[in-house]
Amino acid sequence: MLRLLQFLILSILAAILVSWLAKQTGVTTISWAGWQIEMRTSLLVAGLGIAVAALLLIYRFLRMLFLWPGWLGHNWQARRQKKGERALSLGMVAFAAGDHKMARRQARKAEKLLGAGLLPDLLSAQAAHAAGDAKAAMRYFTVLSKNEDTSYFGHLGLMRLYQEQGKDAQSIEAAHKALAYADGLTPAAIRVLAEEIKSHQWRAALDRLSAFLRKDKEGLSSFGVQDGLAPGQLNDPSLLAAHLSVLLSEEAAEGDKKAYLERALEYSPRMIEASRRLALLATDSQKKSAIKRLEKDFKAFPHSQLADMLAKLSGDNEGQFIARLGKLAQTSAYPDAGHLIAAEWALKSGIWASASSSLAEISPAGQTNTYFLLVADLAEKKHKFAIGDDSQMTPADTQNQYTGFGADSIGEKEQALKAAAHAPHAASWHCRACYQGLIEWEMICPSCSVLGQVDWCQSGASPPLAIENKDAG
């Protein structure tokens, strides 16, 4: 549109000029080398205009002849570039679709048309790797590793290849070289982390894992066995970090043990072992602070081991201690689990009213098999009290002034036992890697030998889930 407007304006101006010249009647005389030429001024101006136009046409024609070879070459190169880019695109699509044969064919075509470069070489390397041609893949990744712009991708590819071939030393070496070009949560960094754990470099592993947790905790879930980790090792990276902290506390000087154990609980409140060890470290003068710490940990994650340690340190009598547990359970992150522990202690101590009160606080979501077994135990005691059989009762039992004990207690027991058979299992020690149940906490799972995956969690799920619901028992 703009060009059309320009043409119209120029045409109008030219018409005006021609009209003006036609009206001119003057004569121009030219004397040169004894010659004298006279002509109308309008004709002279018109002739000069035609001459200038002819010269411009000749110039453009000669310029076109001179530039023609270069234009042809540029056109040919452009078409070659376009074909190469198309081959590269098709190769990437084929690779993504899983047609590795087509991907390699298109990669070779792109390399021929475009020459060596980041994308053609990378596609060739990836396609060769996927097709099982380790020799070709090694060659391409080596080329990429020697280029400053592509060094990271080259070393990363070599790391994968060496790992697949069982050449751990070369794989780790390539991973360290890749780290020089890309920091943060990368496959190379995870490969180094896996090796640090495998070779018992606990401090280095914890420092690296801590950095990952600060930057991108969710991103850790995308890594697994293919990155050199044991199965399930990053199912819960915070739990792994807590285990590493406990490990380092065993090797640390006496003055540093406490710091590592506190750090473990910062990573994961479920690290009950760290809380237990902290309580064991407490001196007589530190008992008050140790009790506060245990109460804090119990509210964060109620567990019978924490209750046992709290009972030893508090010096409470049975009634006082059960009341303490009940108060802690009320404000706990998992109140059902806290009330269940309080009920166990009350039954063990023979304080039935407190046991009944604690059981009544447990929501339907927290009614596990353990809950119903406690209900059955309480019902049995109620029945014995009703019939006057106190031969198996403690002095505390016989002092219970609890109304409602009747002959129907035996029916309550049977009903509770039936419910227990169908209720979900209460939380217990399980390995998150192999799902194996354990009697007690272990640093390393005795079944699958994976570090840092033994956790207090509910069974019946695959993998078992830690207590997540505040109303879960």
pLDDT at 72: 45
Percent of the chain surpassing pLDDT 90: 35
How much is the average pLDDT of 2-25?
A: 67
Angstrom CA distances, 124 to 94, 146, 217, 322, 323, stand at: 12, 16, 33, 69, 70
Structure tokens at 183: 């920091």
Q: How far is CA 196 from CA 207, 228, 407, in A?
A: 11, 11, 64
Quickly count: other Cβ atoms within 10 Å of residue 461's Cβ.
12
H/E stretch holding 325? helix 318-330
Query: Residue 295: its pLDDT value, please?
Result: 94
Q: Locate tokens 């947790």: which residue? A: 213
Residue 355: Cβ-neighbour burial (10 angstroms; 0-12, 13-18, 19+): buried
What is residue 75's predicted lDDT score, i.e. its pLDDT?
55
Asked whether the beta carbons of 233 and 433 are under 8 A apart, the reply is yes
Q: Give the 3-state secondary structure percentages of the chain, helix then strand then coil, rounded to 5.
A: 70, 5, 25
pLDDT of residue 204: 95
Residue 89 to residue 87: CA distance in whole angstroms: 5
Residue 276: what pLDDT? 93
**Could you tell me the pLDDT band of residue 277, with boundaries at 50, 70 and 90?**
very high
Q: How far apart are CA 65 and CA 469, in angstroms?
A: 82
* pLDDT of the residue at 173: 94
Q: Is the pLDDT of residue 398 over 60?
A: no
Is the pLDDT at 473 greater than 70? The verdict is: no
> pLDDT of 146-185, one tens digit each?
888 778 888 988 998 999 888 999 999 999 999 988 878 8
Is the separation of the CB atoms in 156 and 124 below 8 Å? Answer: no
Measured CA distances, 15 to 20, 21, 137 (Å): 9, 10, 72
Determine the average pLDDT of the residues in 355-377: 92
Instruction: State the residue for tokens 């710490």.
Output: 293
Statement: residue 205 has pLDDT above 50: yes
- Residue 427's φ and ψ, nearest 5 degrees, are -60, 150
Please provide residue 28's backbone torsions phi and psi, each rounded to the nearest 5 degrees.
-115, 130
**Tens-place pLDDT, residues 250-274:** 998 888 999 999 999 999 999 999 9
Higher pLDDT, 399 or 185: 185
Please provide the average confidence, as pLDDT, over all residues in the chain.
79
**Over 50: is that where the pLDDT of 470 sits?**
no
pLDDT above 70 (res 280): yes
DSSP state of 455: E
Q: Read off the pLDDT band of 188 (50, 70, 90).
A: very high
What backbone torsions phi and psi does residue 168 show, to the nearest 5 degrees? -65, -40
For 106-161, write each residue's pLDDT tens digit: 666 666 666 555 566 666 777 777 777 788 888 888 888 888 877 888 898 899 89
CB 91, CB 110: distance < 8 Å? yes
Pairing of strands 437-438, 454-457: unpaired
Structure tokens at 35: 């010659």
What distance in Å separates the CA atoms of residue 9 and residue 303, rounded to the nearest whole number? 92
Tokens of residue 72, six digits:
């042809």
Q: What is the pLDDT of residue 472?
A: 39
Query: 112-116, 120-124, 347-351, 456-460 — which is least confidently predicted?
Result: 112-116
pLDDT (mean) for 59-84:
60
Cα 360 to the center of its chain, rounded Å: 41
